[in-house]
Amino acid sequence: MEQVQVPPTLALALVSVATGVLSPVLGKLSTLLENKYSSLTGVGDEILELQDELSSMNALLLKLSDIDDLDIQVKEWRNQIRELSYEIEDCIDDFVHRVEQRDPEKRKKMKGFFQESIHKLRTLGARSEIASKILKLKARVDHASERRKRYNFDGVPSSSSMVVPIDPRLPALYAEAESLVGIDGPRDELIERLAEGEANLVRKLKVVSVVGLGGLGKTTLSRQVYDRIGRQFDCRAFVSVSQKPDMRKILRNILTSVTGIEHYPGIEACDEEQLINKLRGFLNDKRYFVVIDDIWSTVAWPTIRCALLENNLCSRILTTTRITSVARSCCSPDYSNVYEMKPLSDINAGKLFAKRIFGSEDQCPSQFKDLSNDILRKCGGLPLAVISIASLLASKPCTKEQWESYRNHIGSALEDVPSVSNMQKIISLSYNDLPHYLKTCLLYLSMFPEDFVIPRDQLVRRWIAEGFISTCGGQRLEQVGECYYNELINRSMIMPATQEWDRRAVFCRVHDVILDLIVSKSAEEKFVTAVGNNNHTLGPQDKACRLSLDCRDQDNIVVSSSMVLSKARSFSIYGSSEHTPLLSDFQALRVINIEQNRKLENHYFDDIGRLVQLKYLTLQEVNISKLPDQIGELQQLESLELRWTGIKELPKNIVRLKKLKFLYASNVRLFEGIGNMQALQEVRYVKVDSSIPTTSLDELGNLAELRYLGIDWLVSDSSSDQKSYTDSFVSCMDRLCRFKLRYLNIACDVENGISLDFLLDSWSPPPCLLENFVMRSAYYFPRIPEWASLLSNVTLLDININPVRPEVLQVLGCLPSLLSLSLYTREVAPGATLIICSSGFQCLEEFEFYSWNIAMGPLVFEVGAMPKLEKFVFRLVARCIESPCGNFYLGLQHVRSLKHLLVDIDCRGANAEEVQITEAAIKNATDLTINHVRIDFSRLWMDQMAKDDDAGGMEGSEHRGGEGPAESSTKILLQQHFKIFPV
C-alpha cells in the first residue's frame, strides 16, 4: 500500500472516532523503543515494522472519515483495523504495567503478539479486493482532504494559547429564536384555542394538540403557553415523553408536578395502576393544566389520558407531537383541536439567520442576499435548521465560494419542498464539517441517556480520561476541553442548559433531532453501545468499546451475555439495575460512571484494583458505604467523585494516588497523608473536626496545585483546642492562596454550636487573591468582615450576613471585579432601608438577595443603580403581604439593564389568593421597566399553604381564566397592600 504522509495531528496522539486508538498506539510504540523497555522486549524490529504499517493506516482512516457513504466492505475493513488498535493498545499497556511492577514474564508473549499483529495488518491491507477499492476511493479521499485543507477545517485542535469563549451572540440568539417561534401569533392563538368554551361555562376537559416537524419549536411554544397561563389553574405540570416512553416515569413526573411535592412518599414503588389512582384522586376536585411534550405513539396516550380524568372543571391538556395521527388520537373526537404549527415566515427566518452570522438582523451584505435566500429556502422555516446552518457559516470566513459550497451540499436548488430530510441534511452537514477531534467529543455524548442535563466539568474530564484531548501549549487539559465544549455550543450541536453568572454554560443538553444523529453515527462507527428501555441495544452487540446502560426506568435491563466487554474504555450506568455488569468482565476501562444505582453493594468494587488504566471514577447516588483498599492500585486515577454515597471514610491507601487531580467526597474527613497527593487541584467538601490532627491541615497547606477547596468546618467554638485548629486553618489558607487557590467554599454546622466567627477578624493575611468565595450553611457573619473589602479579585461572592446594615452594601459595592453577588440574611436591620445607589456595583451582572423572615421591603434601587445587572433573584413571603412590613417598593424600573427576574415565593401559611396577589404585584412592577423582563416564579412549600375556608372556592376558579372580575379585584387588593410605584 502506498505510503501516506502522517498529518501533524498525529503528534497529538488523540483517541478518535475515525482511528480508534491508533494514534496513541503509535506514541506508545515509540516509548517501547526507548531504552528502559527495549532491552526487555527484544522486539525492536517488529515494533518498527508495526509502526510503519500502522501510521499509513492511521492516515488513511483519517481521510476516509471525511467520506460519509463508504461501502460496507470498506467500513468492515476500517472497523477491523480499529479493533486491532484496541488490542494492541491493551497489550502494550499491560506490558508497560508489568515492567513497572518488575514482572518481566511477559516478554515472550509480547514478541509473539507483535508478529501476529503485523501479519494481521498485512493481510488486512493486501486483500486485493479491498486494496483496489481503496485505490479507487483515493481520488475522492484526496478531494475531501483538499477541501478540508482549503477551508482550514481541521487544523490542529485549538491548542497553544487560543481560548474559545462561547460566542457572545448566542444567548441573544436563543432568546430571539424563542420569541420568533411563539410571541404574539401562535402563542396567543393557542391560548385562545385552549380558552374556548370557558366563557360559555362549558366545563368539559379539553385537549389541544400541537403537531409539527422536529426542530420547529413545539417545545418552546408549549413552554411559552405554559408560562403564560399555567398559573391560572389550581395545579399544573409540564412533562416530556421520550421516544421509548416509560409510563411510570411519566405518571410520577405528572404527580410530583401537580402536587408540588418533590419527594412524594412511596412513589418509587408504585406501579402504573397505583399511580393512575393517586393522580385521579388528586386531580378529582382541581382545575388542572397539563402539557405532555413530544408524544411519539398512540400507545402512550390512553394511559396518560386515563390518569388525567374528566372532572368537569374546565381543565386543559396540551400535547405536542411530530406525528399527525398521534395528534388526532389525542384530540379525538374533536379533530378541530389539532393545531398545526407553522414554520417561521421568510422574514423571520431571515432575521434569525442574519442575527447569528452578522450579529444583527438587517446586516446581510447585498452580495449574499441571493445565496442566503437559497439556503433559507432549504431550511423550510425550521428554527433549528436556521440556527444550525447559520452557526456553521458563522464559524467560517465569509466568502461567496464558501456559502455556495454549503448551499450545494444541502441539496439541489430545484427541490424546493421543505422537508424533514433537509433538516437532516443540514444537521449532518454541520456534523461532517466538524474537525475530527470535535466529532469524537460530540459522539461521546451518546453515552448519556436521552433528556439528560450534562454537567460540563464531568463531561470534559471524561473526554480527558478517554484521551480525546491533548495539549501542547501551556494550557491545562481542562481548559482545552472547555474550549472544545464551547466550540460545540458555538456550532449549535449542543445547547447551554442554564446560563450561569459568568455565561460559561456549566450544563448542556442536546436537541433530540441532533441526538438522533449522534446516536446513529456513534452506533455506525461502533463507538458506543447503548442499552436502554426494553433491552433495546444500539451499536455493536458483540464487542463494546464503550458501554452505557440506562436502567432509570426498568431495573431488569440486561447486557447480552455474549457481549465482550474486556476492551471497553468507558462504562456508564444510570439507574438501579438487578444485573449490573461485573467489573471483572472489564479489563481496559478508563472511565466508570455509576449514577442513581441503589442496588450495588460494597463487594462490587472488590476487584477494582485490576483496572490499572482507570482514570475517572464517579459514583453518584450509590448506596455503598466503603471502597476497598485496592483503590490505591489505581495509579492512573485522576478524578474520583463520590456524590451522595454512604461512604464516610476513604481507604488509607487513597494517599497512594499520586496522579489524582480531582477529589470530590462529601461527608469525608480530611485525612492524614493528603500532603502526598501533590497533583490535587480540587478537593471538595472534606470535614475538619477535632478528631483529626492539626497536622493534616498543615499537610493540606502543602498542596501547591490546589485551585479549589471545599471545607465543612466542624470544630466547636467551645472546644479547648479550637484556637490551634483555627490557627492551623488560617495559616493553611495563607499558603494555599500564595500557591494557586482561587476558589473557597466553606460551611459549618450551626446547629451544633459551631460558627465561623474566628474568620471575622483573625483572618490574617486575608485571602486577597480569591476569585470565588462561597458560604454554604445557616451561619451568618454578625457584621461584614474587615477583609471583605480587600477581595479585589473576587468575581463571585456568596455570603451570609445578619443583620444587613447599609454599610454592607457600601463595602460590597466597592469590590472592583464582582460579577455575581448572593447576599443571604435573616432580616434587614430594624428601621434600616437598604439603598443601592449609582456609585457601586459597576460590573455586577447577577444579584441574589434572600431575606428569610420578612417580605422584602426596604431594598431600593436608585436611578443608575447596578448599571450592568441582568438577573435579580429574590424571595418573598406571601403570607406577609398583609403585615405592615409589606411595603413593596423596589425601584426596579431604575435597573435599566435588567432582563431576568427570578422570584421565590414562600407559600407557607398563605392562601392561594395571597400568592396570586404577590405574583401580580411583581409583574406589575416590571411593567415599568424598559426591557422585556422575563419573570420566573417558584412557589416553595406549596404543601404547607393555608386552606381556603371559603366554600365558594370552586366558583372562583371559573373566573381565573383571564381578564374577568378576578383581575380587577386583584388590582384593588394590590392598591390596598402595596405601595405601587409613584408615577
Ligand X SMILES: *[C@@H]1O[C@H](CO)[C@@H](O)[C@H](O)[C@H]1NC(C)=O
Residue among 91 and 557 whose Cβ is closer to ligand X: 557
- The smaller minimum CB distance to ligand X, of residues 284 and 534, is found at 534
Binding mask 553-572 for ligand X (x = CB under 6 A): -x-xxx--------------
Residue of 534, 764, 968, 976 that binds ligand X (CB under 6 A): 534
Cβ 547 to ligand X shortest distance, Å:
15
Q: Which is nearer to ligand X, 792 or 887 (CB)?
A: 792
**Residue placing its CB nearer to ligand X in the complex, 138 or 244:** 244
Closer of 551 and 933 to ligand X (Cβ)? 551
In the complex, least distance from residue 534 CB atom to ligand X, rounded to whole angstroms: 5
Give the up-direction half-sphere exposure of residue 346: CA atoms within 13 A in the CB hemisphere. 7
Q: Is 538 exposed, middle or buried (0-12, 13-18, 19+ CB in 10 A)?
A: middle
Interface with ligand X by CB under 6 A: which range of 269-277, 349-357, 550-558, 580-588?
A: 550-558
Q: By C-beta, is 554 or 820 nearer to ligand X?
A: 554
CB of 557 to ligand X, least distance (A): 6
Q: Please, what is the minimum distance in Å from the beta carbon of residue 793 to ligand X?
A: 4
Rounded CA separation 27/14 (Å): 10
Comparing CB distances to ligand X, the nearer of 528 and 737 is 737
Determine how β-strand 454-455 pairs with β-strand 507-509.
Answer: antiparallel
Compute CA 178 distance to the chain's CA centroid, rounded to the nearest angstrom.
Answer: 20
In the three-class reduction of DSSP (H, G, I as helix; E, B as strand; rest coil), residue 832 is classed as coil
The nearer residue to ligand X, 168 or 816, going by C-beta atoms, is 816
Rounded-to-integer distance, Cα 337 and Cα 330, Å = 9
Judged by CB under 6 A, how many residues of this single chain contact ligand X? 11
For residue 905, which amino acid is it?
Answer: I
- E-strand ranges in 827-895 read 834-836, 846-851, 859-861, 871-877
DSSP bridge partners of 821: 797, 847
C-alpha cell at 843: 460590573
535 binds ligand X (CB under 6 A): yes
CB closer to ligand X, 535 vs 853: 535
Phi, psi of 206 (to 5 degrees): -135, 140
Residue 578 engages ligand X in binding (rule: CB under 6 A)? no
d(CA 708, CA 703): 11
| DSSP summary character for residue 543 | B
Q: What is the dihedral of CA 768, 773, 776, 780, to 10 degrees?
A: 50
Please answer whether residues 321 and 241 qualify as being in contact, where contact means their C-beta atoms are separated by less than 8 angstroms. Answer: no
**Residue found by looking up cell 480527558 in the block:** 464
Cα–Cα separations (whole angstroms), residue 372 to 116, 343, 365, 395, 406: 56, 17, 10, 16, 11
Per-residue cell: 778: 445557616
If you count them, how many residues does the chain have?
983
Q: Using alpha carbons, list the distances in angstroms from residue 30 to 24, 44, 276, 590.
A: 10, 10, 63, 22
Output helix, strand, coil percentages for the chain, rounded to the nearest 5. 45, 15, 40
Considering the complex, state which of residue 38 and residue 792 has its C-beta at the smaller distance from ligand X. Answer: 792
Q: Which stretch binds ligand X (CB under 6 A): 58-66, 79-87, 539-547, 549-557?
A: 549-557
Integer Cα distance of 861 and 873 in angstroms: 14
CB of 537 to ligand X, least distance (A): 10
Q: Provide the sign of the torsion angle of the four alpha carbons 616, 620, 622, 627, taken in this order.
A: positive
One character per residue 788-817, x = contact with ligand X (rule: CB under 6 A) = ----xx----------------------xx
Nearer to ligand X, 60 or 794 (CB): 794
Cell of 857: 421591603
Instruction: Report, in Å, the least distance between residue 550 CB and ligand X.
Output: 11
Looking at 65-73, 551-559, 689-697, 752-760, which segment touches ligand X (CB under 6 A)? 551-559
Residue 434 vs 815, nearer CB to ligand X: 815
Site string for ligand X, 841-880 (x = CB under 6 A): ----------------------------------------
Whether the bond between 884 and the residue before it is cis, its omega within 30 degrees of 0, is no
Restricted to residues 757-786, the positions that interact with ligand X (CB under 6 A) are 769
205 or 558: whose CB is closer to ligand X? 558
Q: Least separation, in Å, of the C-beta of 555 and ligand X? A: 9
Task: Indicate the residue among 790 and 835 with the shorter CB distance to ligand X.
Answer: 790
What are the backbone dihedrals phi and psi of residue 326, each rounded to the nearest 5 degrees, phi first?
-70, -45
User: Chain-centre distance of CA 64, in angstroms?
Assistant: 32
Q: How far apart are CA 968 and CA 865, in angstroms?
A: 33
CB of 170 to ligand X, least distance (A): 28
Q: What's the DSSP call for residue 801?
A: B
Taking CB under 6 A as the binding criterion, the range among 387-395, 459-467, 552-560, 821-829 that sits at the site for ligand X is 552-560
CB of 800 closer than 8 Å to CB of 764? no
Closest approach of ligand X to the CB of residue 44, in Å: 49
The interface with ligand X within residues 681-740 (CB under 6 A) comprises none
Residue of minimal CB distance from ligand X?
A: 792
Backbone dihedral region for residue 686 (phi beyond 0: left; psi -120 to 50: alpha; all else: beta): beta
Q: CB neighbours of 431 closer than 8 A, spacing ≥ 6? A: 439, 442, 493, 517, 521
Report the chain's terminal Cα–Cα distance, integer Å: 83
Q: Is 576 in the site for ligand X (CB under 6 A)?
A: no
Distance of closest approach, residue 560 Cβ to ligand X, in angstroms: 8
Q: Are 211 and 186 in contact (CB under 8 A)?
A: no
Query: Binders of ligand X among 237-296, rule CB under 6 A?
Result: none
Residue 860 CA to residue 837 CA, distance in Å, equals: 8
Q: By C-beta, is 453 or 768 nearer to ligand X?
A: 768
The residue (of 503 and 740) whose beta carbon lies closer to ligand X is 740
Beta-carbon contacts of 503 under 8 Å, excluding residues fewer than 6 positions away, are 166, 168, 171
> For residues 248 and 456, which CB has a smaller minimum distance to ligand X in the complex?
248
Say whether 499 sits in a helix, a strand or coil. coil
Least Cβ distance, residue 840 to ligand X (angstroms): 16
- Measured from the CB atom, the residue of 793 and 897 that comes closer to ligand X is 793
CA distances from 74 to 81, 522, 982 (A): 11, 17, 76
Q: Which residue has the cell 497547606?
A: 701
Distance CA 174, CA 161 (A): 29
Report d(CA 343, CA 341) in Å as an integer: 7
Binding positions for ligand X, rule: CB under 6 A = 534-535, 554, 556-558, 769, 792-793, 816-817
